[in-house]
Amino acid sequence: MTHVSFSPYERWSALPPDTGLYRRDTEKDACGVAMVATMRGHAGHDIVDHALLALTNLEHRGATGADPLVGDGAGILSQVPDRFFREVVDFTLPEAGHYAVGTAYVPTDAAEREAMTQRIEEIAKE
């Protein structure tokens, strides 16, 4: 039997010991995380409602800054509702699971906006 010696920090930590390329001192904590899931096998708007309620009830989401009334960009991550997008877009989508949807905040200056839009398209193609 091998004896493993722990420092007081390691004994009660949920982080694994440094191994290979992993270094616990580079670990970042995520404050204000809530997770909502279903095991029923199909999507439902009730899950979004639960996620929004969980988000609303998080007291601290990490990036509040000087003005606690200003949003920090926190949100929810969900699956892409393929059927919905097929009903509302005016172009042909690839098969489900082979495209992504996102939101980008672009500059108001036309030249800067065009440059950013082109870069976003390049990244999407990659």
Of the residues 15, 31, 96, 120, only one is catalytic, namely 31
Checking 42-48 for CB contacts under 8 A at 24+ apart, the result is 43/79, 43/81, 47/78, 48/76, 48/78
Does the annotation count 31 as an active-site position? yes
The four Cα atoms 103, 105, 109, 110 give a dihedral, to 10 degrees, of: -10
The length of the chain is 126
**8 token code pair:** 């007081």
**Residue keyed to tokens 């200003």:** 70
**123 token code pair:** 């990244």
- Which residues are identified as catalytic? 31
